[in-house]
Amino acid sequence: MARKIVVTSGKGGVGKTTVAANLSAQLAKRGQRVILCDADFGLNNVDVAAGVEHLVVYDIVDVIEGRCRAKQALVRHPDYANLYLLTSSHSAPERYVSPQSLKLVLDALAPQFDFIFIDCPAGIDEGFHRAVATADEAIVVTTPHISALRDADKVITVLKSYQLNDLSVVLNMVRGDLLLSGDLLSPKEVAELLKTPLLGILPEEYGIYNGDLSQIHMAFKTLGNNVLTGKRKLYDVTRKYTGVFGNIRRALKKRL
């Protein structure tokens, strides 16, 4: 039975969809059967982030309205044999999709998969509640900036009312040089501020925000391993900026 994990954020622009896509691909590479479901019915761009928009034939609305079976709506990723995409309402964007109907579709698919990642709209509006109501676990993606952390805190407060099996945070776009200089909150400070454990840290300078599923690096490998095993090992984003050459990199960064 698949673990259903909603990936959400307090605000847009923190890399939520890209994190969901890359994490899904990372687990698929490890032999896990994974569905990445687009529950953001407003923007519905998971298929674009995954590079499969030209392969989409059916979407969730087609399944709900009986035009196809749930498995027929799945798009198999051409580069990751175990990764499938379930897109949102391209065929009928005006249709209302209830939490119950979305949950029925995912519950029907769950016995045949190991993970279902649900890409959720940012914020805490109706679309957020629809996506969260289908999940058993939640990952909140945020950046280390105060405005993003404040919004993440609001989302976490609402998520705790759902009594999920697990709730964790992924800290995205973290600059190791600023972390070393004390210009960013440390991972420990972020976890204490949000009163929620960190599942992973992703560096800004590795270009993970480009939506390219082929560019999986050590940070995502560590994150994928944490999701798979339940560990909380955090990727060291400061390693690049330690030692002699690291100090040179830090000095060059300050001039940019």
> What is the pLDDT tens value at each position of the chain, 256 positions in all?
999 999 999 989 999 999 999 999 999 999 999 999 999 887 778 988 888 989 999 999 999 999 999 999 999 999 999 999 999 876 666 678 899 999 999 999 999 999 999 999 999 999 999 999 999 999 999 999 999 999 999 999 999 999 899 999 999 999 888 888 889 999 999 999 999 999 999 988 544 444 433 334 789 999 999 999 999 999 998 887 664 445 544 455 554 5
Containing structural domain, residue 7: 3-255
List of residues 6+ apart from 254 with CB closer than 8 A: 177
Check residue 239 and report its DSSP letter: G
Angle at 16 between CA 132 and CA 129, to 5 degrees: 20
Angle at 128 between CA 39 and CA 93, to 5 degrees: 45
Residues facing 198 on adjacent strands: 169
Supply the pLDDT for residue 211: 41
Supply the pLDDT for residue 101: 95
Supply the pLDDT for residue 96: 83
Cα(88)–Cα(61) distance, integer angstroms: 7
Supply the pLDDT for residue 209: 41
Supply the pLDDT for residue 210: 44
* Closest to 211 (Cα-Cα) out of 38, 20, 80, 78: 20
Check residue 52 and report its DSSP letter: -
Supply the pLDDT for residue 206: 45
User: Which contacts qualify for 42-47: CB closer than 8 Å, 24 or more apart?
Assistant: 42/121, 42/127, 43/121, 44/87, 44/88, 44/89, 44/90, 44/93, 45/17, 46/17, 46/20, 46/21, 46/85, 46/87, 46/88, 46/119, 47/75, 47/85, 47/87
Strand 83-86 relative to strand 75-76, pairing: antiparallel
pTM of the complete model:
0.89
List of residues 6+ apart from 70 with CB closer than 8 A: 63, 105, 108, 109
- Domain containing 144 — which CATH number? 3.40.50.300
Domain count, the chain: 1
